[in-house]
Structure 1
Amino acid sequence: MKKIFKRTSLGIILLYSFHSFGQNKNNYSVKIDSLISSKTTKPFNGIIIISKNGKTSYSKIMGYSDLEKKAPLQPNSQFVIGSISKQITAVLVLQEYEKGHLKLNEPIRKYLPELSQNWADTVTVHHLLTHTHGITELDKPTAFKAGTAFNYSYSNTGYDLLSKITERTSGKSFAEQSKELFQKCGMKNTFHPDTKEYKNLVKGYSEQENGKIELEKNSFRNAPAAGSFVSTQPDLILWNQNLQGGKLLKADTYKMMTTKQQGAIRQHPLSGKTDYGYGITVDTKDEILQLGQTGFAPGFVSMNFYFPETKTTLVVLENTAYAPNDLRNTFFYHTQILKIVRQEIINFHDSTKNVNTKHH
């Protein structure tokens, strides 16, 4: 299979020649291997796993948990998972909703009466879950009327508020709530960062403006509920199995979480127009349902997507953030791997339609 790799100052751009898909058309293993093994000054440093029906169909570990010591990454290496954390928070919120402890469309003043701004009387839990609340800072007015737009700068503040709400309604700390959730899922290596229970957290690295790769000291910059949970690739597989398998939420609640919510539409720097449910993106391009999230924390670049039609999970975790001010390049490997996996699923989808058409 002929491929052309073009190197640029910000990474490599993968260009397929005209007949690239002629051989091994559905073999994403060959394509992913070729992508991540190409010679470049910005090598892939992380973990990739693809699971179908709970069985691993592709797995690759490349690079180091500690670049200085050249300590190799391991299957149980822990990463800061960025915004993948938001769907965990959303599940905890929705579990409180199912218990009758909170309502999605009531103003958050009911749960957080100490908030000083008037927006606490109009912003609801639903607005926080969908990033449509307009809050920029806790002590400032909203940028727009709640429910009328998507937060331009995305929203970590909103998810931090959600964690505070569930603390009030459950009577437990957010760290305690999440620990119980992870135990229920069998996720023994996933933690709220404040517990300090993680033992295999790898070092995160960021490329500087001068091109040097340096140890990142600010990986826990974001609020835990929004972007600082620590997890592993096997645990994220377990998370998808539990969430998508109906073990965490009632069917109606899960459907609500994974439905495109009105107005929850973002112009994403990686994928363009992106629709959100509750804490999760909902993509239906090419007639393929894709549920999940990318995640960025200083020094860590992550991706976790699930495709219900084929029960496929794709997890990509990297602890080297190249060009962190240009997310298209930061997520280069992630987006290319996603394209390869999506193409395989599209091929499967098309072949299934063709078979059904012939039978009819």
Structure 2
Amino acid sequence: MKQIYKFLILFLALIIISCNNTNKDKNRINKTNKQIDDYSAKIDSLIQTTSPRYFNGVILITQNGDIKYSKAYGYSNFENKIPITLKDNFRIQSNSKQITAVLTLKEVDNGKLNLKSPISKYLPEIKQTWADTVTIHQLLNNTSGITSIDEPLLFDAGTEFYYSNVGYGLLGRIIEKVTGKEYIDLANNLFKKLEMHNSYCYELGKANNGLINGYRGTNNEFILVDINTIVNSEEGWKDFIPAGGIISNAYDLNIWDKNLHNGKLINPQTYKLMTSFNHTTDFFNVFGKEKVGYGYGVCISNEPLTNIGHGGKGIGFGSFKFFVPEKDLDVIVLENVYNEDSNIFFHFEREIREIVLNSNLVE
């Protein structure tokens, strides 16, 4: 009996010790988790500030396929006070260029386009002398110097950086010429293949599903933007679509980034060309004060480690996203308020980028 009694005492003691160790392990894990997330509270606090302007939009951060942060803050419709959601569709504006760049590079991979060939090879109808010198490569990395179809180049092609929506409109025409298909159909079919069910090219006069209102914000007053007062013609809009006319949402853009940066859209060597650069620019103040490289429809910053992204703004909307390949980290910020003061337009996007790139997400 004494031996049984001693055994029971020993058994109970072991259970108590085991429970204590389990609790310590749980506390250690909880403590570690709290240490890892050193960014959520900072972002939450940031987007609630009202100076120098209000934040109104959505934020999605993922890493290794897991959602690390998601937030919808503000309204999709100010008049009726409808809360904004992560499923809402936005105009992504110049983030459309990245999609056009991929559609172009897919035809390079298919052997239908040569990056070193001049525009005139594919668009002989353009009679400007610069059509014989400006290459596909220079259209993609915004070193063409094209300001208008009817104007001379701003500089010798390839020597400087100039952000050209017209250049990306020409890429749209070239894609159509070599494929025999409409740019809109090519882009929409790619979205369908990737299961980006909320992404499409905006077409005038047609139903544009899920697109929320865009506003112009001045002195924290929000004025509804009517695209019909901005677009001059259907032909002009068609040329603008490859530069800034695509609709998407945070979840779909996350799908896009994961496919693009993990080798699912273009060949590895082509991707390397896309994310390389010969020129730097301070045009994109969303990346802060530093100059960044410009590849094919993407900006490349190497501080504090390589991050690849782009910004877009206009027609009542703003977009910004960047991907950190080394950490499989994706950050997407979409807003439906356009502030005309360019110095503060990307205020929140810059701050969010700084928070993320100085967080444990990149350690």
Normalised by the length of structure 1, the TM-score is 0.84
What residue number does 1:276 align with? 294
CA–CA distance in structure 1, aligned partners of residues 66 and 37 of structure 2: 18
Cα-to-partner distance string for 1:85-124 (whole Å, 9 max, x where unaligned)? 1110000000011111110011110110010210000001
Match of 2:264 among 234, 247, 251: 247
**Aligned-residue offset at 1:285:** 1.5
Give the match's secondary structure for 1:136: coil
Aligned: 1:170 with 2:186: no
The answer as to whether partners of 1:298 and 1:321 remain within 8 angstroms in 2 is yes
Q: How does 1:207-356 map to 2 (within 5 A)?
A: 207-208=217-218, 212-218=221-227, 223-260=240-277, 262-263=278-279, 265-270=281-286, 271=288, 272-286=290-304, 288-322=305-339, 324=340, 326-344=341-359, 348-349=362-363
CA–CA distance in structure 1, aligned partners of residues 36 and 266 of structure 2: 37
**Aligned-residue offset at 1:24:** 5.9
The answer as to whether partners of 2:71 and 2:86 remain within 8 angstroms in 1 is no
What residue number does 2:201 align with? 192
Aligned-partner residue type, residue 189 of structure 1: N
The answer as to whether partners of 1:132 and 1:147 remain within 8 angstroms in 2 is yes
Match of 1:144 among 152, 155, 163: 155
Match of 1:130 among 141, 144, 148: 141
Change (3 A) 1:178 1:148: same
**Aligned-residue offset at 1:199:** 1.3
What residue number does 2:212 align with? 202
CA–CA distance in structure 1, aligned partners of residues 362 and 280 of structure 2: 30
Cα-to-partner distance string for 1:219-278 (whole Å, 9 max, x where unaligned)? 975711111210000000000111111110111111111112x23545434434121111
Change (3 A) 1:276 1:65: same
Aligned: 1:91 with 2:106: no
CA–CA distance in structure 2, aligned partners of residues 89 and 41 of structure 1: 33
What residue number does 2:27 align with? none
Aligned-partner residue type, residue 358 of structure 2: Q
Unaligned runs of 5+ in 1: 1-22, 350-360
**Aligned-residue offset at 1:83:** 1.1
Give the match's secondary structure for 2:116: coil
Aligned-partner residue type, residue 65 of structure 2: G
Give the match's secondary structure for 2:113: coil
Runs of 4+ aligned residues of structure 1 deviating over 4 Å after TM superposition are 23-26, 219-222
Cα-to-partner distance string for 1:109-149 (whole Å, 9 max, x where unaligned)? 01100102100000010010011011111011111111111
Aligned-partner residue type, residue 94 of structure 1: L
The answer as to whether partners of 1:190 and 1:198 remain within 8 angstroms in 2 is no
Give the match's secondary structure for 2:276: coil
Aligned-partner residue type, residue 205 of structure 1: Y
Aligned: 1:28 with 2:39: yes
Normalised by the length of structure 2, the TM-score is 0.83
CA–CA distance in structure 1, aligned partners of residues 148 and 332 of structure 2: 32
What RMSD in Å do the two structures reach over aligned CA positions? 2.0
What residue number does 1:357 align with? none
Give the match's secondary structure for 1:309: helix
The answer as to whether partners of 2:310 and 2:320 remain within 8 angstroms in 1 is yes
CA–CA distance in structure 2, aligned partners of residues 110 and 76 of structure 1: 42
Q: Which moved more, 1:242-251 or 1:211-220?
A: 211-220
CA–CA distance in structure 2, aligned partners of residues 244 and 217 of structure 1: 35
**Aligned-residue offset at 1:197:** 5.1
Question: Hey, which of these two has a bigger chunk of helix by percent?
Answer: 2
Aligned-partner residue type, residue 114 of structure 1: E
The answer as to whether partners of 1:189 and 1:198 remain within 8 angstroms in 2 is no
Aligned-partner residue type, residue 348 of structure 2: Y
The answer as to whether partners of 2:63 and 2:327 remain within 8 angstroms in 1 is yes
What residue number does 1:108 align with? 119
CA–CA distance in structure 1, aligned partners of residues 43 and 58 of structure 2: 12
CA–CA distance in structure 2, aligned partners of residues 197 and 343 of structure 1: 42
